[in-house]
Amino acid sequence: MSTPVLAGANTAAALAAVVLVTAATVLIAVNGLRLSRTTSDFYVASRTVKPWWNASAIGGEYLSAASFLGVAGLIVVSGEEGLWFPIGYTAGYLMLLLFVAAPLRRSGAYTLPDFAQMRLGGRLPRLVTSALVVAVGWLYIVPQLHGAALTLGITTALPRWAGPVAVTGIVCLTVLAGGMRSITFVQAFQYWLKLAALAVPTIFLLLHLGATGESVTAGGAAFDRLPAQEAGSAALGVPTGDLTLYQTVSLILALLFGTLGLPHVLVRFYTNPDGPSARRTTAIVLGLLAVFYLFPTVLGVIGRAHLPGLVASADADATVLLLPGALVGGVAGDLLTALVAGGAFAAFLSTSSGLVVSLAGVMSQELFGGTVRGFRIAALLACAVPLGIALLTGTAALAGAIGAVFAFTASTICPLLLLGIWWRGLTGRGAVAGMLTGAVSCGGALAAAQLLPAGYTVAGLAVVGILQQPAAITVPLAFLVTVGVSKASSAPGGRRAAQVMARLHAPEDADGLDGLPEEISRWRP
């Protein structure tokens, strides 16, 4: 099945919606420019953002192309196994709440490398963390740009390079204009836009199917296993075949613990005024995500029932874009398609700009002395590299590509954060060794899975299936190496660790912390 390009009046409406979303984004960002003046504004929005705003912004930033387009596409292609992805994306925030949210907020660090240096001291942990953050960010932006190429390619007559170039340009502009402060408002707005852009078509489609008397699930056939499914699933990196259980467990592990290490997610937590508000914010985020994922799931089921041709096509990720036109048609179909296209664009813009802000923050501190000018140069760099990669590589399945990034962060940054926050014994050497082990083993496995032929076996074992989902092996390995090297290299750093632990875990308004200076024990934004 060739790419089902929509034609006619659709093009104009979808293009108008994309332009509208873009204009709104730029407008809010430029407004934010008047408010952001200091470096603190640029990096963390002066830490004055309220939980509801911040939660909406986190949701807006987190719901990327993989969520907006990819989840429904996965469900169309893989059915039941695809449902694990949104569960993992949501439950990742539960882990973030349990282990990271409040202590990380209390650490007072601007970025992940700041946290590494504060906790461990020395240059090396900071450098390694910075390099990893930049690599993760770049890898995560690329699928957003691929999603933009897909969306514009299907809903308008524009060539495939137009989407990535447009997203990169707009993101660069907004980030240069306002930094994090304006980004917060943009992101919060974009969560609700994305929710509406999927909720309205979903409800409309359900009502439409109800009115025409068609079964939403094609009499339950939507849930049957399809013949074309196995091959498609394997190519997407969705658990399948003999290794389903291993791959499912590995995928869950990657998604649960990968969220902890995403740079654009972490930087958001610095914008909460204190630890308890960071926890409240995270709980609200969980609610927002749970509500959101209902809609792509339902759309995926409708897609399975009513667009079965998509399973075998390369454009299953376009399911949510194609459904309104295929089922409703006419002007209503065109308008709904335009709404979805606008929402999809909001997803690419918000995730990419969040990533660019955090990457620029890290790079400018590392390379340009942390000035506002340096931040802007770094923002340009953070935009340019993924654009180059996206234009040079073909479109991969969105949710699968993002799943690989989660496995990588779970194997590298997650051990640093979890052990840094909860274990006094972590040393700089241990953290560096663990991060490098995780990066090499997980990165190597993912690369090998791409290079080896699909049917490659070693002693009868389908190695490629294991390499595709390496988290179940590489995450424990990274933890083991971190702990082992820390124990072997235990320096007389216990005093520093104890100080940092006091700062991370003591409530902000606790009395009796006589040992801690006023700014720590009674700190208020």
Partner 1 sequence: MNPGATPGESPARVRVTAPRDAPPVPGPTLQPGTPEDFYLRSLIRSQLRLSLSVAAGFTVLLLVIAVLIAFWPQIHEIRVGTVPIAWLLLGAGIYPIILAAAALYNRACTRNERRYRDLASRP
Min dist CB 119 to partner 1, Å, is: 9
Q: Are 43 and 173 in contact (CB under 8 A)?
A: no
The count of other CB atoms within 10 Å of the CB of residue 16 is 14
If binding is defined by CB under 8 A, does position 256 make contact with partner 1? yes
If binding is defined by CB under 8 A, does position 520 make contact with partner 1? yes
If binding is defined by CB under 8 A, does position 365 make contact with partner 1? yes
Which amino acid belongs to residue 39? Answer: T
Among the listed ranges 58-66, 165-173, 187-195, 498-506, the one in contact with partner 1 (CB under 8 A) is 498-506
If binding is defined by CB under 8 A, does position 199 make contact with partner 1? no
Q: What residues between 58 and 87 interact with partner 1 by CB under 8 A? A: 80, 83-84, 87
Q: What does the alpha-carbon distance between residue 254 and residue 109 come to, in Å, rounded to a whole number?
A: 25
Is the Cβ of residue 21 or residue 251 nearer to partner 1 in the bound state? 251
Is the Cβ of residue 19 or residue 242 nearer to partner 1 in the bound state? 242
If binding is defined by CB under 8 A, does position 506 make contact with partner 1? yes
If binding is defined by CB under 8 A, does position 392 make contact with partner 1? no
Among the listed ranges 130-138, 205-213, 275-283, 442-450, the one in contact with partner 1 (CB under 8 A) is 275-283
Contacting residues for 82 by C-beta, under 8 A, at least 6 apart: 71, 74, 75, 76, 238, 300, 399
* 431, two tokens: 């953290």
Q: What does the alpha-carbon distance between residue 225 and residue 220 come to, in Å, rounded to a whole number?
A: 11
If binding is defined by CB under 8 A, does position 39 make contact with partner 1? yes
Q: What does the alpha-carbon distance between residue 100 and residue 422 come to, in Å, rounded to a whole number?
A: 9
Which amino acid belongs to residue 414? Answer: C
Q: Which of 169, 367, 510, 525 binds partner 1 (CB under 8 A)?
A: 510
If binding is defined by CB under 8 A, does position 195 make contact with partner 1? no
If binding is defined by CB under 8 A, does position 369 make contact with partner 1? yes
Q: Phi and psi for 457 in degrees, rounded to 5?
A: -130, 150
Q: Which of 2, 8, 213, 219 binds partner 1 (CB under 8 A)?
A: 219
Q: What does the alpha-carbon distance between residue 241 and residue 462 come to, in Å, rounded to a whole number?
A: 10
If binding is defined by CB under 8 A, does position 501 make contact with partner 1? yes
Q: What residues between 446 and 475 interact with partner 1 by CB under 8 A? A: none
Q: Which of 210, 444, 507, 525 binds partner 1 (CB under 8 A)?
A: 507
If binding is defined by CB under 8 A, does position 158 make contact with partner 1? no
Contacting residues for 75 by C-beta, under 8 A, at least 6 apart: 82, 83, 296, 297, 300, 301, 303, 304
- x/- binding map, residues 410-449, to partner 1, per CB under 8 A? ------------x---------------------------
Min dist CB 248 to partner 1, Å, is: 5
Q: What does the alpha-carbon distance between residue 159 and residue 143 come to, in Å, rounded to a whole number?
A: 17
Min dist CB 290 to partner 1, Å, is: 4
Q: Are 380 and 357 in contact (CB under 8 A)?
A: no
What DSSP string runs through 140-186? Answer: HHHHHHHHHHHHHHHHSS--TTHHHHHHHHHHHHHHHHHHHHHHHHH
